[in-house]
Chains A and B, each alone.
Chain A
Amino acid sequence: MADEYKPPALPSPFTNTTPAPTLLAQGAEAHLYKTVSLDPSIPAALKVRPSKPYRHPVLDRRLTRQRIIQEARCLVKLVREGVSVPAVLAMDWEGQGAEESAWGGAWLMMEWVEGPVVRVVLEQWEAWMKKNAASLDESQLQKEEDRVRGLMKRIGHTLGGLHKAGVVHGDLTTSNLMLRSPAQDTTDSPTGVSMEGEVVLIDFGLAGQSTQDEDRAVDLYVLERAIGSTHPRSEPSFEEVLHGYRESHKGTGSTLKRLEDVRMRGRKRSMIG
């Protein structure tokens, strides 16, 4: 390719930040940096949504602005409701200057969550199991199975809390679930993979406020498919997500019933227009 790749410049005021924020990940729509809050001893996550040059500028501004505000609103609401998500510390959605050529992105500074994403946890676990499962005896295998099922159940609980608060995530994958590292980890497993810690939901870039069974069921279905495609070995444990979800609060029955419909639709989805 003739065009050299250059990561986009940081938005103001982070060009001044000392030490400079470190880029952790280039997600689909945002760059995630680790930086500090106003207090240099408190780490913070900085999510920058750069302008997307592939989109028409009018559409780009509309989407960037709409999404960062939507995301922040959902997070603020969830923090108030006590759902475990990173808190919002500061944000800006206007970009620099109003002129057409200006940097049209937006940023959101959030509380730093220390711990791994569930995707990595499951990948490491699956990789270990693929290689070494044969060396485990029946009870060890059962124990490993139980650990994954326990994690799935906690995920279900957290999702229940999310939906109860009137928010749907819109992009539930195992990359958007974290485990907040506990002060003391008591993991005892030959895999060496810890599954402990509070489940924290992250990346609310596609979230919205809704209490509709349909939206909630789609949330669960999206996660089910994501686990099926990314973690084939853990797929059978998905039912535990639903168990945890069912237990989380009253009124999940109608959502879970709707999930059946959503699944049917998915499978039967016509492949011809």
Chain B
Amino acid sequence: MALKLETINIPHLPASLPVHVALYRNVQNSAFLRQQLLAGNAEFEYAFIDASLIAESFRKLGIADSTKDLLIVKVSVTPEITHDSVAAHLESSVEGTSVPFDDMTLSEISDITKIKKLYKLGALPSPAAKPDASQPHQDEARRRLELSMLGAIALRGS
């Protein structure tokens, strides 16, 4: 199965800094990948941006030995990092099923209970696991949870 690696140009970053995002399910070698990050293997510099928060985010959000669903983000900070180089590296290193990086897939994966606990949003109504157009209030609940979470992230460190 071909790797579904998205290369995204963030409107607020220069065009020379595209971001590559891949989403995997059923990952088999999480322990190995985590070790590479912990060991600081330069070939495996993925995702973490705020250096002072690495420990914190790593514990809560980062890859664990038991991780099955994995989101991988890589910024092209040098011209050598391209879509193809990232794709090649991931294909050789990650043992799992590549799935599309989109809302539908993500909402199947996301653990609402965990998210609510992590961002102290326990009081909010929980949306259903899957978006359902026939249930507008479910959509509203999802929207509110999502926006509340974004707010909580923005406020971190204040």
Contact = CB atoms under 8 A, between A and B. Distances in A.
Direct contact of A and B (CB under 8 A): yes
Given A18-B15, A69-B158, A93-B158, A76 B10 contact: no
A82 interface: yes
B12 to A, nearest CB: 5
A230 interface: no
B154 A91 contact: yes
A87 interface: yes
Contact of A80 (B13, B15, B148, B154): B148
Contact of A76 (B11, B15, B124, B148): B148
Contacts of A13: 12-13
A98 to B, nearest CB: 14
B2 interface: no
B71 interface: no
Contact of B152 (A38, A76, A111): A76
Contacts of B152: 76
B150 A89 contact: yes
A36 B10 CA distance: 10
B20 to A, nearest CB: 15
Contacts of A167: none
A73 interface: yes
A91 B155 contact: yes
B154 A90 contact: yes
Interface residues of A, number: 25
Contacts of A69: 155, 158
B148 A79 contact: yes
Interface string A125-151: 000000000000000000000000000
A80 B124 contact: yes
Nearest to A39: B11
Interface residues of B, number: 18
A211 interface: no
A80 B12 contact: no
Given A69-B158, A82-B144, A93-B158, A76 B13 contact: no
A218 interface: no
B11 A72 contact: no
A30 interface: no
Contacts of B49: none
B158 A79 contact: no
Contacts of B155: 69, 72-73, 76, 88, 91
Interface string A43-77: 00000000000000000000000000100110110
A80 B150 contact: no
A17 B14 CA distance: 7
Contacts of B12: 13-14, 16-17, 35, 38
A14 B14 CA distance: 10
21 contacts: A14-B12, A17-B11, A18-B15, A35-B12, A40-B11, A72-B158, A73-B155, A75-B151, A76-B154, A76-B155, A79-B148, A80-B121, A80-B123, A80-B124, A80-B144, A80-B148, A87-B147, A88-B151, A90-B150, A91-B154, A91-B155
Interface of A: 13-14, 16-19, 35-36, 38, 40, 69, 72-73, 75-76, 79-80, 82, 87-91, 93, 111
Given A13-B12, A36-B11, 11 more contacts: A18-B11, A38-B12, A69-B158, A73-B155, A76-B148, A76-B151, A76-B154, A79-B148, A79-B151, A80-B148, A111-B147
